[in-house]
Structure 1
Amino acid sequence: MYVTFLGTSGAIPSAERNTSAILVRRSGERFLFDCGEGTQRQMMRYQTGFDVSHVFLTHLHGDHILGLPGLCQTWDFNDRESPLAVHTPPGTKPAIESLLGVAGTDPAYPVSVHEARPGSVVVRGEEYEIRAFRTNHRTQSVGYALIEDERKGRFDRETAEALGVPVGPKFGELHSGNSVELEDGTVVHPEQVVGPPRPGRRLVYTGDTRPTDVTVSEARDADLLIHDATFADDNAARAQQTHHATAREAADVASRAGAKRLALVHVSTRYGGAVDRLEHEAREAFDGETFVPDDGQEIEVPFPDE
């Protein structure tokens, strides 16, 4: 699983940072979380590929959605045929449908808009699900958690051979959870040669929000938490007033959740190139890896046991 940070600025873009957009690539699928103005150019610039199947919007402020009409139009110009699903907070479907029609034409490919109800699974894919959860911003808003299924335990080939299992199809049968009978009548069971199930990965993206207990719950043991960190401590009152979070507050959420890594995004332009201040304040509250990603930065999210 790879994450490319296409836009990490707050409400106003800067020369270094575009407005909010994050692309996640998992096993050949691409998901786009938020789509601020200029997102399609960021995708071109950082060569992420354009075959996105789902777009997940956290809320309807312009710095999170205004790139969507242009991106959809570009897909149309490029003769896209595959369907696109757009997920948006409850009560906002009509507004997004109007936004998609702002150019006055309907794309030739199917586009569907779905309201993401907090607490529900909005996408169920092969060995993963993407779930919406409630956040606390100035408008109707949700975050998203990409949660992979448990994986099979490791197959102990050495033990299997010691038990007399011949190399070949019976290995696969055992790894799939089926017992096998050997030529001498001995039955070998999966639990003799297959270890315990291994956890999949968990990635959580909050969008704009105050720190919440719900986020802590959704980010429990997350491999990567991407959290609003608009302000430093010097603007804590402003963060509360505007329903954003400080870097320290984001770090407290990560610490309470037991997350492994924390990416601080939606950075106010007032900090310019001084994002080390945000990182420093966050690291005082969270022992895990903490960073403010640059636009275009791509990171890998490994499996927990790797």
Structure 2
Amino acid sequence: MPLRVTFLGTSGAIPTVERNPSGLFVAREGEELLFDAGEGTQRQMMRFGTGFSISQLFVTHLHGDHVLGIPGLLQTMDFNDREEPLAIHAPHGTRRQLKSFVNALDNRPSFPVRISEVGDGDVAYRAEEYEVRAFATDHDTRSVGYALVEDERKGRFDRERAEELGVPVGPKFSKLHEGDPVELDDGTVVRPEQVVGEPRPGRTVVYTGDTRPTAATIEVADDPDLLIHDATFADDRADRAADTAHSTARQAAEIATRANADRLALVHLSSRYAGHTEDHEKQAREVFDGEVLLPDDGTEVEVPYPDAEE
């Protein structure tokens, strides 16, 4: 089951020629999610072919570089005769302001737009096989991050062992894999634990939005497969990062190490580093042993299952 992340915008507050403000598109088996929508997000969605069929929009905070793309995106959806509702999730205390923003210039979408507020520990969205959890971040306004956490998967079914135990090929295989015992013609009972392995982990993608380094990022999910972290500055502006409630690339790498992340993507890069992100990568690699990514706008990342190589 594919899980794909498309980076729509990787710049900090000020866009550059190469980088748009914040936007992250996630596609999972036919469902499409959007995290933040800075200015120009709809054009990035056209440019990189994601389409507009998102069901959920997760807003980390209401600074312009994370939300200025919302009115235009909703208007385009309206022009395209959208009928499906859109759910928008945002930090506690921002619903009224966000609602006014959605209806800016008296533009009221013809499709339902539902805004909900979330805080640390809340499940912002529950789907059939995964959930999106909100967690506390440390920015200079009301803010949260989000973690997409898949449910555990069934253990692998040992067909050879099942046949050795006399289970006939057919419906009883499925019943055992679903966790139910089966009775054979001779009265023998075969239990699931005899032929089904331990549950296997799903995948986890964590997106911080803008934040200083926080313990909540480490605690929200076990061993994330992909951590997408604020890395606005390099070491040369560490004081500036603290003053403006952002992180450096090194600090992001320290969080990734403590969280036991598999991969780290550095985003929200300040325009002062336009075209010169070598220090970000170098400083992150000095701390983090996993894979370090500095995605460009349009970069797509496939997130495999943790046991994909087994």
- TM score, norm. by length of structure 2: 0.97
* 2:231 maps to 1:220: no
Paired position in structure 1 for 2:183:
181
User: Structure 1, residues 223-261: CA drift from partner, whole Å, max 9, x if none?
Assistant: 000000000000000000100000000000000110110
The 2-side partners of 1:25 and 1:5 are apart by: 12
Q: Matches of 1:150 and 1:4 in 2, distance apart?
A: 24
Pick one of 12, 17, 20 that aligns with 2:19: 17
Counterpart position of 1:249: 251
Equivalent residues of 1:219, 1:259 under 8 A apart: no
Residue 220 of structure 1, CA deviation: 3.2
Could you give the per-residue CA deviations for residues 10-32 of structure 1, whole angstroms, max 9, x where no partner exists? 00001100000000111111110
- Within 2, Cα distance between the matches of 1:28 and 1:265? 26
Question: Which region of structure 1 is more displaced relative to structure 2, 180-189 or 90-99?
Answer: 180-189
Q: Paired residue for 1:144?
A: 146
**How do residues 204-215 of structure 1 correspond to structure 2 at under 5 angstroms?**
204-215=206-217
Contact conserved, 1:219 with 1:254, CA < 8 A, in 2? no
Q: CA deviation at 1:276?
A: 2.0
Q: Secondary structure at the match of 2:232?
A: coil
Confirm or deny: 8 A CA contact 1:69 1:103 kept in the other structure: no
For residues 258 and 114 of structure 1, the distance between their equivalents in structure 2, rounded to whole angstroms, comes to: 31
- The runs of at least 4 consecutive aligned structure 1 residues that moved more than 4 Å come to none
Structure 1 residue 103 displacement after superposition = 3.0
- How far 1:174 moved relative to its partner? 0.3
SS for the counterpart of 1:170 is: helix
Q: Distance in 2 between matches of 1:105 and 1:67?
A: 14
Within-5 A mapping of 1:1-306: 1-306=3-308
Structure 1 residue 219, shift from structure 2 partner: 4.5
- Letter of the structure 2 residue corresponding to residue 57 of structure 1: V
Provide the C-alpha distance between the structure 2 equivalents of 1:219 and 1:292, rounded to a whole number of angstroms: 22
The DSSP-based 3-state class of the residue aligned with 2:222 is coil
For the residue of structure 1 that corresponds to 2:46, the secondary structure is helix
Distance in 2 between residues matched to 1:106 and 1:239, nearest whole Å? 38
Q: Deviations 1:162-209 (Å, cap 9, x if unpaired)?
A: 111111111100000011111121111100100000011111000000
Aligned residue pairs, count: 306
Is the CA contact (8 Å cut-off) linking 1:219 and 1:225 kept in structure 2? no
Question: What's the offset of the Cα at 1:105?
Answer: 2.7
Residue identity in the other structure for 2:145: G
Counterparts of 2:38 and 2:157 in 1: how far apart (Å)?
A: 45
Q: Which amino acid aligns with 1:299?
A: V
Counterparts of 1:241 and 1:211, CA distance in 2 = 13
Query: So what's the TM-score if we normalise by structure 1?
Result: 0.99
Structure 2 stretches lacking a partner, 5+ long = none
Q: Equivalents in 1 of 2:224, 2:81: separation in Å? A: 37
Q: Which amino acid aligns with 1:5?
A: F
Quote the Cα distance in structure 2 between the aligned partners of 1:29 and 1:103.
30
Letter in 2 for 1:13: P
- State the alpha-carbon separation in 1 of the partners of residues 107 and 17 from structure 2: 32
